[in-house]
Amino acid sequence: MKDIVRAALTIILVCLVLFFVNDLLNKNSGKAGSDTVTIYNWGEYIDPDLIAQFEDESGYRVVYETFDSNEAMMTKIEQGGTSYDIAVPSEYAIEKMKEHDLLLPIDHSKIPNLKNIDPYFLDLSFDPKNEFSIPYFWGTVGIVFNPSLLDGQTFDSWDALWDPSLKGQVLLVDSAREVIGMGLNSLGYSLNSTNEKELQEASEKLNKLTPNVKAIIGDEVTQLMVNEEAAVALTWSGQAADMMWENEELDYSVPEEGSNLWFDNMVIPKTAANIEGAHAFINFMLDAEVAAQNADYVGYSIPNAAAVELMDEEVTADERFYPTEETRDNLEVYNNLGLEMLGVYNELFLKFKMGTN
């Protein structure tokens, strides 16, 4: 009998140890429940002071992790493991996440600061009625360039990148949608084209750009442009703004044929452990003063009309980064192309990259 009792006590003790170890692991991996808000965001995409402010004001502890692509973010959320309460995907990724049932609907009654968002940025095609997403930042894809290293070239047209005088001077972001989209736009086609003939034409035109391409890279493009090691780069508007802050010689242009208008948005993944805290964080980030401070730190354009009123007019009046509604109407949001067509884009991009090596 004593052996049975001893065995039972041992089993209970082991179970208690496993419970506490599991609880500790869950807290360390973001599964901390009602006392913690676990956020999954792009790198350098929030003012750290605001995280501390939110913790002080809300009483929640923030666990903050970063990703470097929508695809990596979606894969990790789909696999589970960490109960992210907030993620910040782009518009086409939201469509995919909705398809895969990875998002929870947002309770607008818990986000009174939603009234601060410019109506232009609400009820967009990728999420009608903002059922699953709340706008965070937005911007464009365009060309950053250094006039002091050029012979008077301007970049009102994508075709300017093909100028023979730019041999070995053009940097491209390492992203299929941006590069293939640029090729399509330069021909007057939609950057969401699924037409085989149009995609082949764009691929052939991009191949002719090869002599001008210095490198196809990621975040390194910022320092290369700031240090004047290249004259021109395809990049996102916020990244261009960072470059221009460090090197006043630089300028930014969105070609007249059209380009990408992108939106990053706050969502609540279906595996969230703290839905109440997620709503509190979203509402906090939509506060006018908070959003203005965040925009000043990050450098990207914000959809928060109340915050824009508090910001430096020299910044918000700059149409390179806050283009007019008329200009925006000539831009396109990336559509979710589907797995098969996305594979076509990636294959064309890979062939182009191999040709530049």
Residue 338: predicted pLDDT: 86
Confidence check: pLDDT of 17 > 80: no
Residue 322 is labelled as binding a ligand? no
Higher-confidence residue of 356 and 173: namely 173
For residue 25, being part of any structural domain is answered with no
Asked whether residue 148 falls in the same domain as residue 241, the answer is yes
Residue 299: predicted pLDDT: 87
Confidence check: pLDDT of 16 > 80: no
Confidence check: pLDDT of 23 > 90: no
Q: What is the CA radius of gyration of the chain?
A: 23
Domain range holding 193?
A: 139-260+331-356
For residue 9, being part of any structural domain is answered with no
Asked whether residue 84 falls in the same domain as residue 60, the answer is yes
For residue 17, being part of any structural domain is answered with no
Calpha distance 288→307 (Å, rounded): 4
Residue 345 is labelled as binding a ligand? no
Reported pTM: 0.81
pLDDT band for position 6 (cuts 50, 70, 90): low
Residue whose token pair is 């491209």: 172
Confidence check: pLDDT of 29 > 80: no
Q: In whole numbers, what is the pLDDT of the chain averaged over residues?
A: 90
Confidence check: pLDDT of 31 > 60: no
Residue 328: predicted pLDDT: 87
For residue 95, being part of any structural domain is answered with yes
Region of 127 (left: φ > 0; alpha: ψ -120 to 50; beta: rest) is beta
Asked whether residue 180 falls in the same domain as residue 311, the answer is no
Calpha distance 86→71 (Å, rounded): 16
Question: How many whole angstroms from its chain centre is CA 234?
Answer: 16
Asked whether residue 217 falls in the same domain as residue 292, the answer is no
Asked whether residue 74 falls in the same domain as residue 191, the answer is no
**In this predicted model, what pLDDT tens digit does every residue of 206-265 receive, in sequence order?**
999 999 999 999 889 999 999 999 999 999 998 899 899 999 999 999 999 999 999 999
Residue 357: predicted pLDDT: 74
Burial of 112 (0-12, 13-18, 19+ CB in 10 A): exposed
**In this predicted model, what pLDDT tens digit does every residue of 296-338 receive, in sequence order?**
999 899 999 999 999 999 999 999 999 988 888 889 999 888 8
Question: How many whole angstroms from its chain centre is CA 11?
Answer: 48
Confidence check: pLDDT of 97 > 60: yes
Residue 13: predicted pLDDT: 56
Asked whether residue 197 falls in the same domain as residue 273, the answer is no
Asked whether residue 182 falls in the same domain as residue 225, the answer is yes
The CATH number given to whatever domain includes residue 227 is 3.40.190.10
Beta bridge partners of 63: 38
Asked whether residue 301 falls in the same domain as residue 159, the answer is no
Give the whole-number percent of the chain exceeding pLDDT 70.
91
pLDDT band for position 20 (cuts 50, 70, 90): very low
Calpha distance 213→171 (Å, rounded): 6
